[in-house]
Chains A and B, each alone.
Chain A
Amino acid sequence: MTGMLIMAGGAAVSPLVFQLAIFIMAIFVGYYVVWSVTPALHTPLMAVTNAISSVIIVGALVAVAAGVKGGSGISTWAGFAAVALCSVNIFGGFLVTQRMLAMYKKKAK
């Protein structure tokens, strides 16, 4: 039971404080990285952050796995719907970003 829990959770050493530390560090990384983004690319930035925030699909997959193994039917279907929604975002977000970025060209000299 516990073995599976840790695996589902993803981090074997996972006291809350440890996660919180990573979270806070990541906010700082985000802060500096995003300030270095050129304003010309702010729209692609939003589209791509959209796509990567859909990494929440990992939770959706855990829900599906839980549901089909005799868990709650709500989990199965909520998980399935969430997988589909996240997939729209992942594929849509990355592809539309790619489409936008392909348009940025330098002056032909």
Chain B
Amino acid sequence: MPTLSADIAAILYTVSAVLFILALRGLSSPETSRRGNTFGMVGIAIAIITTLLVSNMNGMGFALAAGGLALGGVAGAVIAKKIPMTDMPQLVAAFHSLVGLAAVLVAVAAFFSPADFGILSEGRIKAGSMLELGLGAAIGAITFSGSVIAFAKLNGNMSGSPIMLPARHLINLALGLGIAVLIGMLMKSGGTEPWIIWALLAATFLIGFLLIIPIGGADMPVVVSMLNSYSGWAAAALGFTLGNLALIIVGALVGSSGAILSYIMCKAMNRSFISVILGGFGGDTAASDAGDKEQRPVKRGSAEDAAFIMKNASKVIIVPGYGLAVAQAQHATREMVDALKEEGVDVVYAIHPVAGRMPGHMNVLLAEANVPYDEVFELEDINSEFSNADVAFVIGANDVTNPAAKTDPASPIYGMPILDVDKAATVLFVKRSLSPGYAGIDNDLFYRDNTMMLLSDAKKMVEGIIKAL
């Protein structure tokens, strides 16, 4: 078997870590991103080959490694090819759960073969290594069970509404303390008592589950980002156990990436991270359809009206929300925009950070519908443009346009940054009904004089507009 010296191996791991940094750096613009992704692939190939060469693998080991790679690789490739873009959030949640579980398995393996992981000292696992191993196992287990719940909620296997256990904060606190005690016991035992690691895993699987069930569907973008971060910290902890530079660096990169995304998502919803974690906010379906709706008059319009208004506009801003994806109307919307451009109308898209079910989700959906990315603008870049726009065409979005976020301190979304669609000369709202959004709040915009409600399924309405154009 060819072997590498430890120094060469460390250099190769560093090279792969640098390639991972370049992979993330590439994502600063779509042009460089594709090359970045290739760097990432080369990086992981280097890490795998290096490990195969340094680990003194025998024939049986190679066979198992190759079998695992082939098995998982084929499954992964098939999933990547088949998954619809609307299902990206649940796919990412599922992938997080796999990383979490892999971290748990590696920690267990290290616990039972400490000599080969280099963490033994005088027949006992070193306390420091045990701490790293225990943390890796614990964070991995939380990532796993938390992601399974996030997946079930995003995929619709489970209701998006929060599940609130009585005294859940107390239960979680007790479990958290128990986990800390178990890690302490692990360190003290030096690996002589396997029951402790099993107990630790049981407790951490349970707390991951309990932490995510009270979080509502609307907060899922934060949860998915947070679990992304956790998977990184789990990897980093095990990187310390293994003394592996690539793993330590990747763990830090992924950990900070997930943390930044959680922060961005929280800010976009004006929610504090703590309140998201504590849960209880926002079911998927608006619970309150109070009887007082429909009392105020709204102006309704048809597809023909909308087509007429937009055809005669010089600037139209499209504001897509998650409802667009639900109705699968992204392709029809792009066709409508093409038709408008034929008429000489200037059309761009405005995206709120929480327009989709995960960070950047709406951008992917529009890209899939062949919308050029330089026509798609983020909130801070486009907000000043609404006052120059003749028409704001809001499709499948609601709360992110609600002026109550600015004007009504009593509103649950008060303080959330919104797209200033109310500044446009005319607002066209494509909506299935007048029901409020996830936050359960009425939108004042519906009742304004310059707003026309296009009450219909998004796809049907857009197709109607195309016909009328």
Q: Is the CB of A69 within 8 A of B56?
A: yes
Q: Is the CB of A86 within 8 A of B75?
A: no
- Whole-angstrom CA separation of A4 from B120 in the bound complex: 12
Per-position contact with A for B86-108: 1 when CB-CB < 8 Å, else 0? 00100110011011011101101
Q: Is the CB of A105 within 8 A of B255?
A: no
Task: Specify which chain A residues have a CB less than 8 angstroms from the CB of B157 in the assembled complex.
Answer: none
Task: Specify which chain A residues have a CB less than 8 angstroms from the CB of B468 in the assembled complex.
Answer: none
Of residues 13 to 59 in B, which have CB atoms within 8 Å of A's CB atoms?
13, 16-17, 20-21, 23-25, 27-31, 33-34, 36-37, 40-41, 43-44, 47-48, 50-52, 54-58
Task: Specify which chain A residues have a CB less than 8 angstroms from the CB of B238 in the assembled complex.
Answer: 56, 59
Per-position contact with B for A46-82: 1 when CB-CB < 8 Å, else 0? 1111111111111111111111110110111011111
Query: Pick the contact of B55 from A35, A43, A61, A92 — CB < 8 Å?
Result: A61
Per-position contact with B for A7-50: 1 when CB-CB < 8 Å, else 0? 11111101010010011101101110111111111111111111
- Whole-angstrom CA separation of A85 from B94 in the bound complex: 11
Q: Is the CB of A94 within 8 A of B37?
A: yes
Q: For the complex formed, measure the closest distance between the CB of B327 and the CB atoms of chain A, giving whole angstroms.
A: 20
Q: A43-B360, A87-B71, A100-B367 are in contact. Are A10 and B242 (CB under 8 A)?
A: yes
Whether a CB of chain A sits under 8 angstroms from the CB of B240 is yes
Whether a CB of chain A sits under 8 angstroms from the CB of B261 is yes
Q: A45-B24, A72-B112, A94-B40 are in contact. Are A16 and B240 (CB under 8 A)?
A: yes
Q: Is the CB of A81 within 8 A of B105?
A: yes
Q: Is the CB of B29 within 8 A of A38?
A: yes
Whether a CB of chain A sits under 8 angstroms from the CB of B117 is yes
Taking each of B23, B67, B113, B361, which has the highest tally of chain A beta carbons within 10 Å of its own beta carbon? B113
Q: Is the CB of B76 within 8 A of A92?
A: yes
Task: Specify which chain B residues have a CB less than 8 angstroms from the CB of A38 in the assembled complex.
Answer: 27-30
Q: Is the CB of A82 within 8 A of B374?
A: no
Per-position contact with A for B203-244: 1 when CB-CB < 8 Å, else 0? 000000000000000000000110010011011101111111
Query: Pick the contact of B244 from A10, A35, A44, A93 — CB < 8 Å?
Result: A10
Q: For the complex formed, measure the closest distance between the CB of A69 and the CB atoms of chain B, giving whole angstroms.
A: 6
Task: Specify which chain A residues have a CB less than 8 angstroms from the CB of B257 in the assembled complex.
Answer: 30, 34, 45-46, 49
Q: Is the CB of A56 within 8 A of B116?
A: no
Interface of B is mostly: helix
Q: Is the CB of A101 within 8 A of B34?
A: yes
Q: For the complex formed, measure the closest distance between the CB of A83 and the CB atoms of chain B, giving whole angstroms.
A: 3
Q: Is the CB of A30 within 8 A of B256?
A: yes
Q: Is the CB of B106 within 8 A of A43?
A: no
A59 nearest in chain B by CB position: B106
Task: Specify which chain A residues have a CB less than 8 angstroms from the CB of B108 in the assembled complex.
Answer: 74, 78
Q: Is the CB of B77 within 8 A of A85?
A: no
B47 nearest in chain A by CB position: A55
Task: Specify which chain B residues have a CB less than 8 angstroms from the CB of A108 in the assembled complex.
Answer: 372
Q: Is the CB of A71 within 8 A of B98?
A: no
Taking each of B68, B83, B368, B378, which has the highest tally of chain A beta carbons within 10 Å of its own beta carbon? B68
Task: Specify which chain A residues have a CB less than 8 angstroms from the CB of B74 in the assembled complex.
Answer: 91
Task: Specify which chain B residues have a CB less than 8 angstroms from the CB of A43 in the assembled complex.
Answer: 88, 92, 356, 358-361, 363-364
Task: Specify which chain B residues have a CB less than 8 angstroms from the CB of A76 in the assembled complex.
Answer: 64
Whether a CB of chain A sits under 8 angstroms from the CB of B123 is no
Task: Specify which chain B residues have a CB less than 8 angstroms from the CB of A80 in the assembled complex.
Answer: 64, 67-68
Q: Is the CB of B367 within 8 A of A65?
A: no
Whether a CB of chain A sits under 8 angstroms from the CB of B79 is yes
Whether a CB of chain A sits under 8 angstroms from the CB of B455 is no
Whether a CB of chain A sits under 8 angstroms from the CB of B308 is no
Q: A48-B23, A49-B253 are in contact. Are A83 and B116 (CB under 8 A)?
A: no
Q: Is the CB of A10 within 8 A of B261?
A: no
Q: For the complex formed, measure the closest distance between the CB of A58 and the CB atoms of chain B, giving whole angstroms.
A: 4
Task: Specify which chain B residues have a CB less than 8 angstroms from the CB of A66 in the assembled complex.
Answer: 109, 113, 115-117
Task: Specify which chain A residues have a CB less than 8 angstroms from the CB of B73 in the assembled complex.
Answer: 87-88, 90-91
The 21 listed contacts between A and B (C-beta, < 8 Å) are A30-B254, A34-B256, A36-B25, A51-B40, A52-B20, A54-B98, A56-B102, A59-B109, A63-B106, A68-B60, A78-B109, A82-B101, A86-B99, A88-B72, A89-B95, A91-B75, A96-B80, A96-B91, A99-B81, A107-B374, A108-B372
Identify the B interface with A (CB < 8 A): 3-7, 9-10, 13, 16-17, 20-21, 23-25, 27-31, 33-34, 36-37, 40-41, 43-44, 47-48, 50-52, 54-58, 60-61, 64-65, 67-77, 79-81, 83, 85, 88, 91-92, 95-96, 98-99, 101-103, 105-106, 108-110, 112-113, 115-118, 128, 224-225, 228, 231-232, 234-236, 238-258, 260-261, 264, 353, 356, 358-361, 363-364, 367-368, 370, 372-376, 378
